[in-house]
DNA sequence: TCCATAATCATCCAGTGGGTTGATTATGTC
DNA sequence: GACATAATCAACCCACTGGATGATTATGGA
């Protein structure tokens, strides 16, 4: 038995066997091609992680010659960092300032439904990234600090128990909200349902929100 | 720049250049050798995950010829499953029945200090394992179910709010307790400290325990 | 002491996978 | 229409990696 990368690949596009020009459709369209490669890469990297992902698989999924990955992104590593960078930007932009905390957490959980691959990619980046390796962009640190002060404000406003350290709380909430993605097997074992499914995810999101509310207003 | 596996390798043994017989020490000792290989594998797999780990690195770290990995464990995959199996047994045995919940959670967090590699391995297994791939041993499922009923009991005893689903709560606690291992980069960003360090880990453990207590007794 | 066998090693082998090369075909412009 | 250039592809290359082979040495028993 050869090792197959983790978690079933996302069904994804029906994977047309060969792209036929299609009336009115350009047959050379660098933007489209790049987008396709990025999508495919997101799916593959998300499913298997960097090391286990194969650029030929990515190319196949994108319906494109694998050389284009070098051509556009400078190889596997370039493609990966491109995606990682985009994720950082996205997550930095994701800072929703003044929603209730339980809603923020639940929303984060739910976001994994719409973009499972993206969430998985985040998880891989976090799991395998160390400080020396990828120096954690200043923007990223900024974002985290902002989130911490966010929590601190909520704490000052009495939304959160005063004796909890905002940093640790943030970390815990982050981890809990990522649970379906980072611990899919346990999630499945516990719930009996597919951790990717909307039904389970929304239930879990709701429960987490409830938990947060319990922290806020005494039970 | 070639991709280096995630998270700095554990310092580990000083990696003796060549094992010299050493007075009174057997120079052929299969048990010792196997143990060394397992330790090295745990460290390598833990640091980089299955796909990125190299059996030659494992062999080097163990100070042993790489062929012995095939000899004793039937290759890379066999070695990995061996470790994964051991982890499952260990974690199944880890079921401490009647400690207070906050202590259980804190203890789980603290366990990552003494055996970081092991915790990382767990994280990789969970992250990359899907149901089809490794059918989640019955024992494993049993263990999880047991934990859930454990929580249910605590809930019945009024330790936990009645409206929380025990399964979801377990998942959330599990994820939160694994945070330093599964999200080391975020942990580092938030705390400014090394997520592997005992100081940070114990602080985080304490905070999580506090959080659990807040769930139990209204703030 | 000698032998059978287990343990260990150095070396080789073949498959894989990422990357490169050079050719080919669109596309836009003059 | 012709040309320059961008986009795309098929084929090849070679480093790496996991595993296999066969030799060698220790160990324990007869």
- pLDDT for B70 equals 96
Interchain pair B161, A214: CB under 8 A? yes
Q: Inform me whether the pLDDT recorded for B201 exceeds 90.
A: yes
CA distances from B110 to A32, B21, B140, B180 (A): 49, 37, 22, 10
Interchain pair A175, B170: CB under 8 A? no
Strand C–CB A19 distance below 7 A: no
CA distances from B165 to A58, A95, A179 (A): 39, 29, 15
Residue-wise pLDDT tens digits, B74-125 = 999 999 999 988 887 877 777 666 788 999 999 999 999 999 999 999 999 8
User: Do residues B77 and B133 make contact, with C-beta atoms less than 8 angstroms apart?
Assistant: no
* A 187-206 residues, CB < 7 A, strand D: none
Determine the residue of chain B that is closest to A216 in CA distance. B219
Residues of chain A with C-beta less than 8 angstroms from the C-beta of B83: none
Residue–nucleotide distance: B73 CA to D23 C1' (Å): 22
Strand C–CB A76 distance below 7 A: yes
**What's the rounded Cα separation, in Å, for the pair A128 and B47?**
8
Query: How large is the average pLDDT for residues B50-54?
Result: 96
Using only C-alpha atoms, chain A has a radius of gyration, in whole angstroms, of: 20
* B 54-93 residues, CB < 7 A, strand D: 54-56, 66-67, 69-70, 75-77
**What's the rounded Cα separation, in Å, for the pair B165 and B67?**
49
Q: Which of A112, A65, A68 is nearest to A91 (CA)?
A: A112
- What pTM was computed for the model? 0.87
The dihedral sign for the CA sequence A50, A55, A57, A62: positive
Banded pLDDT at B21 (limits 50, 70, 90)? very low
Banded pLDDT at B131 (limits 50, 70, 90)? low
The helix (H) or strand (E) run that includes residue A10 is none
**What's the rounded Cα separation, in Å, for the pair B189 and B184?**
8
pLDDT tens for chain A, 219 residues: list them.
334 445 555 543 333 333 444 445 677 788 999 999 999 999 999 999 999 999 999 999 999 999 999 999 999 999 999 998 888 787 777 766 678 899 999 999 999 999 999 999 999 999 987 666 666 677 778 888 888 998 999 999 888 999 999 999 999 999 999 999 999 999 999 988 999 999 999 999 999 999 999 998 765
Interchain pair B126, A186: CB under 8 A? yes
- pLDDT for B163 equals 94
**What's the rounded Cα separation, in Å, for the pair B184 and B168?**
23
Q: Inform me whether the pLDDT recorded for B24 exceeds 80.
A: no
Residue–nucleotide distance: B76 CA to D20 C1' (Å): 14
Residue-wise pLDDT tens digits, B38-48 = 999 999 999 99
User: SS3 of B32, please?
Assistant: helix
| Nucleotides of strand D under 7 angstroms from a protein beta carbon | 6-11, 17-22, 26-28
Å from B131 to nearest chain A CA? 7
Q: Measured between alpha carbons, how far apart are the two ends of chain A, in Å? A: 51
Residue-wise pLDDT tens digits, B151-191 = 999 999 888 999 999 999 999 999 999 999 999 999 999 98
User: Do residues B32 and B49 make contact, with C-beta atoms less than 8 angstroms apart?
Assistant: no
Residue–nucleotide distance: B31 CA to C5 C1' (Å): 17
Interchain pair B203, A165: CB under 8 A? yes
């Amino acid at each position: 038995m050869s090792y197959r990368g983790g978690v079933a690949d996302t069904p994804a596009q029906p994977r047309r066997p060969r792209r036929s020009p299609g009336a009115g459709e350009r047959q050379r369209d660098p933007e489209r091609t790049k987008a396709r490669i990025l999508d495919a890469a997101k799916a593959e990297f998300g499913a298997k992680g960097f090391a286990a992902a194969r650029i030929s698989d990515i190319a196949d999924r994108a319906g494109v010659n694998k050389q284009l990955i070098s051509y556009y992104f400078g190889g596997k590593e370039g493609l990966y960092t491109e995606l990682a960078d985009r994720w950082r930007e996205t997550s930095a932009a994701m800072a929703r300032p003044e929603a209730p905390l339980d809603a923020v957490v639940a929303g984060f959980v739910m976001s994994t439904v719409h973009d499972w691959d993206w969430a998985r990619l985040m998880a891989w980046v976090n799991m395998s990234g160390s400080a020396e390796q990828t120096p954690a962009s200043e923007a990223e640190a900024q974002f985290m600090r902002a989130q911490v002060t966010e929590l601190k404000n909520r704490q000052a406003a009495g939304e959160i128990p005063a004796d909890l350290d905002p940093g640790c709380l943030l970390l815990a909430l982050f981890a809990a909200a990522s649970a379906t993605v980072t611990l899919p097997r346990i999630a499945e074992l516990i719930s009996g349902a597919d951790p990717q499914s909307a039904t389970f995810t929304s239930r879990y999101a709701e429960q987490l929100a409830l938990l947060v509310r319990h922290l806020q207003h005494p039970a």
